[in-house]
Amino acid sequence: MRMNVTEALARAARRWPAREALRDDHGAITFAELDGRVNRLADELATLGVRPGDRVATLLPNSIAQIASQLAILRAGGAWVGINRRLAGPEITYMLLHSGARVLLNDGDMSGVGAGPASLAEVCDVSGGDPTFERRLATRSSEPPSLAVGEDDVGRFRYTSGTTGRPKAAVLTHRSALTSLHSLLAELHDLGSDDVVAHVTPLTHASEALVAPAFWRGARAVLCARADAESLAALIVRERVTTVFLVPTLIAALADIAEADRSAFSSLRTIVYGAAPMPADLMERALGLLGPVLLQIYGMSECPFPITTLRKEDHFDPRVRGSCGLPTAMNSVRVVDDEGQSVPTGTPGTIAISGPQVMREYWDDPDATRAAIVDGWLRSGDIGVLDERGFLTLVDRRDDVIISGGFNVYPREVEVVLEEHPAVAEAGVAPVAHERWGQGVAAWIVRRDDDAGAAIDEAALIAFCRGRLAGYKKPVQVRFVPALPRNSTGKLLRRRLGETDPR
């Protein structure tokens, strides 16, 4: 049997056909109804000419339409390109062009993108808001496609970013997704059919990994299009949410509410986190107010989580509380030096991962692929330390990444946009502390020596970025300096930007 990751839904539809599978702001759908819609969408994609390996993108909020669309793409043999709705128009356009997506599935909202690149053959409103499309869809087959999609077929293009400023697409197979499912089922051993899983953070990111485990166990999922603390708190209480993926900023917000009412979140059994480091004082506070609910999972775009897990009971062991846990059974983790040799226990080095979860390649970038995957090991770029028991601790994040509200911001992406402004000669970007998001983006600017340079100010540069970058990527502050700190070879020393005297 050739298995693919959509089997989790097919199994749930056979076992619990009438049970509610998903609920969003517009309604609910059972497992059998969802499976039928996925099959009809897959049939429609085939009718539109989508063939195995073709890229199909989604641009949707957290919704039933988002999950149905991504599963239909996979079941039709396509590669899902999930695009975050928070990205700016130029970023979305780049991903559509770079991936070569033939079809875009959205909710009719193309603001900031226009009609999309000319390479798109079709743009379909799959939200239910297009009566013509819905009538056409009703004529499609609700039976599974005859196409056999297997473990080695490409299932997803997951975009990440590098220091060059251009996003890269990690090519992931169904085997990668199935391995992630197996590992998550082992770690979420108490997840069952009475659970309610909430998706608050974007389904194009880490929260999506909890979809298949919930299907496999027959749990109900609730999809929230807003990621603010008030909406989350109301959702947990109203739906009796038991399981949720959250970034530390939202965990802090829940702790604030729980401090006033210890019983507010009594239904919560598991909070999965891992998109950003958890400060020690927040961890202590969350455990005291919310109970033994924290489960940390480490992963990355090139190797979806879980690579390692810090289980609930581990959070009460002061020896490992600051780590990201032990490697899962389905992959191997080493800490290596620049030559790829394992370093001694307790010595910092590059985290390297080997196993079926690791990406196949970076799309259309053989040089980056060769640099990232060496002798079968993915060189993550994250710096870590292994202790004598095998617990992995992150020492530093990849390159100079900024983590704002759980989202990765790569400085060079922001610098490239800033340097497009005619008044900017050079730009350097680094993190600053941010009360709400943990870290914010700060920019150090060398003005051009002309009238345009003399006239530019902080507000104008932030406004310039607003239409070109996602909101979490644009600078929260801009400082003008006479020069940027560089080493003898001309490399920008981002960690010394804060020492630079403003002009």
pLDDT one-digit tens code per residue, 103-115:
999 999 887 777 7
Q: What is the pLDDT of residue 298?
A: 93
Inter-residue contact 343 to 79 (CB < 8 Å): no
Residues 6+ apart with CB under 8 A from 463: none
Q: What is the pLDDT of residue 40?
A: 98
Q: What is the pLDDT of residue 396?
A: 65
Buried b / exposed e over 289-300, threshold 16 CB at 10 Å, is bbbebbbbbbbb
Alpha carbons 244 and 210: distance in angstroms, whole number: 9
In one-letter notation, the amino acid at residue 36 is G
Short-list 63, 2, 1, CA closest to 37: 63
Sort 459 into a burial class: Cβ within 10 Å, 0-12 / 13-18 / 19+: exposed
Inter-residue contact 443 to 475 (CB < 8 Å): yes
- Hey, what domains does the chain have and what are their CATH numbers? 1-191 (3.40.50.12780), 402-499 (3.30.300.30)
Alpha carbons 43 and 49: distance in angstroms, whole number: 10
Please, where are the H alpha helices in 376-430? Answer: 411-418
Q: What is the pLDDT of residue 489?
A: 47
Counting as low any pLDDT under 50, the low residues of the chain are 162-164, 488-489
Q: What is the pLDDT of residue 488?
A: 44
Q: What is the pLDDT of residue 75?
A: 97
Alpha carbons 197 and 214: distance in angstroms, whole number: 7
Residues 6+ apart with CB under 8 A from 494: 400, 411, 428, 429, 430
Alpha carbons 91 and 304: distance in angstroms, whole number: 22
Q: What is the pLDDT of residue 163?
A: 43
